[in-house]
Amino acid sequence: MYAIISDIHSNIEALTAVMEDIKSLNAEEILCLGDVVGYGPSPEECIDVVEKSCRFCLSGNHDYAVLTRAERFNPLAEEAVEFTRRRLKPKWYSLGRKRDRWSFLLNQFEQKREHDILYVHGSPRDPRNEYILETDITFGNLDKIEEIFELVPRYCFVGHTHVPGVITENFEFLAPADFESKLDLEQGKKYLINVGAVGQPRDGDNRACYVTVEDNHIEYRRPEYDYVKTMDKMANVGPISKEAAERLEQGR
């Protein structure tokens, strides 16, 4: 068994709860699909945990924006990127962990393929930035999904949307509630699996979210965490952070 996490967004309280849950399962390893930083108040602590605990970490759009610039970000996300960059970017005289954390972001993978499993943050067509949405199914954007599936070897694990769910090659979107959070993946079929968000869920459930994988079986896990503590921290970050904090309580 191994665990896949994504979209931590500098939320150390959520990440700690997830790591404790993973430890209780005796998972063999942890993989991260990116967006370790952004939105939340604890980028340094989250980087430290992911760097220590995960076999690899992909580059999310927020991670990359901190290194470069925020393009096509909404004002809330852009403000969070600027805040995070101010916290993390080393000066010429910086030493130790500050430089190490910056190097961690610089050295993230854009995508990773292992055997017949592909790992990306966004989509096989655009590993950092493209969203694969439930509305692509409901509104009939099936050419997009078909093109994406052509790039999927067998399974593709993604994050980015903060909404957990499975898209089948028959163009179905299955929310975890549709299969009671546990799903056996059929042999010979392809799946797109969004693992949800650790640090900023957007499916109406404010608990942290991640996935475990064992053979052809996946399970969505939803540990509770002290989001009020995270919200209190965010209230002191900047003038735009109140909205981001409220989203944690709402799971939106």
- What's the pLDDT score for residue 240? 54
Q: What is the DSSP letter of 164?
A: -
- 26 secondary structure, DSSP code: T
Q: Which helix (DSSP H) or strand (DSSP E) does residue 51 occupy?
A: helix 43-53
Tokens found for residue 203: 């499916």
CA angle 89, 4, 219 (to 5 degrees): 150
pTM for the predicted model, two decimal places: 0.95
Task: Specify the pLDDT at position 76.
Answer: 84
Per the structure, the complete domain to which residue 154 belongs is given by: 2-250
pLDDT at 238 over 70: no
Tokens 């509305």 appear where?
135
Q: Which residue has the higher pLDDT, 93 or 195?
A: 195
Q: Which of 96, 95, 101 is nearest to 66 (CA)?
A: 101
Helices then strands, counting H and E runs in the chain, come out as: 9, 12
Q: What percent of the chain has pLDDT over 70?
A: 98
Q: With the C-alpha atoms ordered 121, 125, 130, 135, is the resulting torsion angle positive or negative? A: negative
The pLDDT of residue 131 is 97
* Torsional class of 99: left (φ above 0), alpha (ψ -120 to 50), beta (otherwise): alpha
What is the Cα–Cα distance from 11 to 185, expressed in whole angstroms?
Answer: 31
* Residue 116, φ and ψ in degrees, nearest 5: -105, 25
pLDDT over threshold 60, residue 239: no
What's the pLDDT score for residue 205? Answer: 97
Give me the number of domains the chain comprises.
1
- Could you tell me the pLDDT band of residue 227, with boundaries at 50, 70 and 90? very high
Residues 6+ apart with CB under 8 A from 126: none
DSSP secondary structure, 74-106, as one string? -HHHHHHHHHHHHHHPPPTT--THHHHHHHHHH
- Selected residue with higher pLDDT from 194 and 235: 194
Q: For 151-233, where are the E strands, in sequence order?
A: 155-158, 165-168, 173-174, 182-184, 191-194, 210-214, 217-221
Residue 244's pLDDT is what? 80
Q: Tell me what the mean pLDDT of segment 62-90 comes to.
A: 90
Between 234 and 205, where is the model more confident? 205
CB 196 within 8 A of CB 163: yes
* Cα dihedral 186/187/192/198 (nearest 10): 70
Over residues 155-187, the pLDDT tens digits come to: 999 999 999 999 999 999 999 999 999 999 999
As a 3-state breakdown, the chain gives helix, strand, coil percent values, each rounded to 5, of: 35, 20, 45
Q: Return the amino acid letter for 211.
A: V
Q: Which residue has the higher pLDDT, 74 or 194?
A: 194
Q: What is the CATH number of the domain that holds 198?
A: 3.60.21.10
Question: Which pLDDT score is estimated for 69?
Answer: 84
Q: Read off the pLDDT of residues 16-46 as tens digits, 9 standing for 90 and up.
A: 999 999 999 999 999 999 999 999 999 999 9
78-126 tens-digit pLDDT: 888 999 999 999 887 777 888 999 999 999 999 999 999 999 999 999 9
